[in-house]
Structures are given as structure tokens and as C-alpha cells.
Structure 1
Amino acid sequence: MCEPFIRNHQYNYIRNQADAVLHALRSVGDPKIWESVRLSAQTKVLELFPDLSDNRKTLLASISDVKTAEDVHNYRLALEPYRIGFPPVTEKQIRKLFPKNKKLKLPDLSQIDFRQVSYLSWTDIATNKMFIVYPAGEGFVGVEGRYTATHKKSYCFVCSSYEELALFTAASKKRPAHASPDYYKSVGNYICMNGHECNKNMTDAASLEKFISSVLE
């Protein structure tokens, strides 16, 4: 029985490494350089899961064997049973994360492929707000804030990809000791307008987790 262990952003990272191996094979004439790319990809993928020692490690290591587009396709296909989806979440659970929003508009959860989701996000045009839901412990955390569309492309702080961005600004719940009652601090950053594309491009969760921590903790 397959034991899932690959999160969405890790799968994206592995996918990119496999594509890099194939690209090197097609574009580099020096066998030594291609061999270096091949071994580098294998090392980077295995470093994601340093504690693996069973057939899953063997499967990951086989990235060094890809030589054709079909090989890449089959490699990615073999990883599918090991992917960890976004934890099951209900509308009721999401609403509890944003108790002050009595008329919270939610995305259609039935239309989301949660295997391809690292974080759940959506916008409410009527209130000009963006909402983010992220797994934490045995449950979830929620962050809401204002968003301002830039109508320009640049690099997203979550996925580091060149996409159309919005400035997302959330009120920090952190309060310094002896802060005045009217103390207010906002935390902002540029994030993909399209959450689906962001999740597809995301290869590391550290930046998002740091941002969420800066707002909530």
C-alpha cells in the first residue's frame, strides 16, 4: 500500500527538477555537464525527504534515469499515488476561521482538486478582501486582508514565479508589550492574483508560512 508523503509544493519542485534533466539532455552536448545536472537533480529531490529509506527513496532517485519526455511523464505518473492532498476542509470549518465575516463568500470546494493545493485562497470583489486558509497542526489557520490589484506582472512572494500580482495587506495580531489600545500594524506582500496558478508554481512553503506567522503569532 502506498503511503503518501509528497506535498503539493514538493511535487512541483520534483517536477521542475525532472524537466531540468530533460532540458539539459536536449540542449547540452557535453555528457559531463548533463551528468552533473542529472546527479544534481537526484540529490536535490532526495534532500527533500532525508529520512526515507524504502522503495519511495528508490522511486525518487530514479529521476536520474529520465531521458525522454515519456520518461518524465511516467516518472511523474509514478509519484501520483504518493501525493498528499490539502487536508479535507468544510465550509463550516472555514467560516469558523473568519467569525467576523457573517456573509463570507466561499469558493466552490467541490470544484477544487485538493491534491494540487498547498494553500486555499480566494477574493471577494464586493469587500475587496482576500482570504487564505492554510493547514496548521490538526486544523487550519485563516488570514484575511485587503488586496489591491497591480495589473502588472512581477515575482510572487509565495511561488517566486512571474505572474500578475496583487498587494495583499493584513492586520497583524501581534501586539508589543504595553501597546496602546489603538495600536495597529499591517503586514503586506505581493501575491499572485490567481491562486490556482500560484499553487501550481509553488515549490517551497517557507515564505507563506513566515508571512502567516507574522500576521497571526
Structure 2
Amino acid sequence: MKWETIPLGPLQTNCYVLYNDNQEAVIIDPGGDAEYLQQWLENRNLHPAAILLTHAHFDHIGAVEQIRQTFDIDVYLHEKEREWLTDPEKNGAALFLGDSTISSAEADHHINQEGELVVGPFTFQVYETPGHSPGSISFYHPESETVFSGDVLFSGGIGRTDLPGGNHDELLKVIHDKLLELPEDTYVACGHGPYTTIHAEMDSNPFLNGF
């Protein structure tokens, strides 16, 4: 089981493609540049099973609709951001880019609780990790020892909380209570910047020290 990082879209958001030896894959946070992502997948003969969204800010969803239609796959998103995919005002595209075109149809599956999520041959543990946005979720994949955290936890940082629905105290609490409880050698696949590990963030993240 492997994953690769593909920076996409206006903010070069990290899109992740997790795939197995049978060339089956899941796509996490396809933020834009749909044609490039499609070509990337086809060049590697990968067969996507689904799109998983850690949250629905514009920079994480820009390629959702084209990739969904091209590969005829379902989209998973938290229930609290159900309307964000369809509304550039809610997903931030209109506010930050002046662009009312970054949107898609609603997700096919709305997650409303924590627990196991099975998508084809892939099994994730879903954690509700709000604070950056109300419907932020993290996908922990034990087989690859990776948590796909979106904009919750970064290498040496945490997600911004000054956007609508953000809450700084809540973000720190869910990082401490949920993500830092994962095995210390877990890789953290962040929404922006380099990947890190739980151990590294416990040891040196200035936002978490002393919490």
C-alpha cells in the first residue's frame, strides 16, 4: 500500500492518492487541475474507487466534479459541510478568489459520525476533527500507518481558525484528544506542506507544547 502527494489548485493543496498493488486507489482532497490529475492517474493505470474530502474549502475541492464524472466514483464528505460543495460563498472561493465557479454537486455520502469507513479494498478510521472548519474530518489508514489530516495538523503548525466556523480551542482539543492518541510513528499527511509524524509534532510543534 502506497500513497503519493500531488500539489494541486490555486494554493497548491496536497492531494493524496492512496493505492494498492492491484492499482486500486482512493483520492483525497483533489484541489484543482483536474486534467493534470486525470492524466497522472491514467499514466499509472490507477483505478480510483472514491474521493474522500477532509473538508470542503475551495482549495480542497476544485477538481471534485470533473474527477468524479470522469471515473464515475462517489464522493465522501462530512454532513456539516453538505452545502459547501455547491456554494462558492460557503466554500470560500467567492470570498478569497472572487471566483464563483469552484463548486460541484453534493457529495454522494455524508459522514455524520466517527468510526470505520470501508471504500473498496481500503479501510479507514474516521475521526471528527473540527476547529479549522466545522466538518473537518481526518482519515486514519492503519495499513499504511498514515492519517490524512487535511488542514487540522501541519508540520510545526496547526490549521487556521479565523475562517467561518473555526474554533481555536476546539482545534487544539481534537488534535490532543484524537490525533495525538494515534501511534507515534503514524505519518501525518497534511493539507499543505511536507508530511510529518505524530511523534515529531508531539516533540516539537510549538502550538501543542504545554497544551
Normalising by structure 1, we get a TM-score of: 0.26
More relative contact order, 1 or 2 (CA 8 Å, 6+ apart)? 1
Normalising by structure 2, we get a TM-score of: 0.26
> Structure 1 or 2: larger helix share?
1
Q: Which of structures 1 and 2 has the bigger CA Rg?
A: 1
> Structure 1 or 2: larger strand share?
2
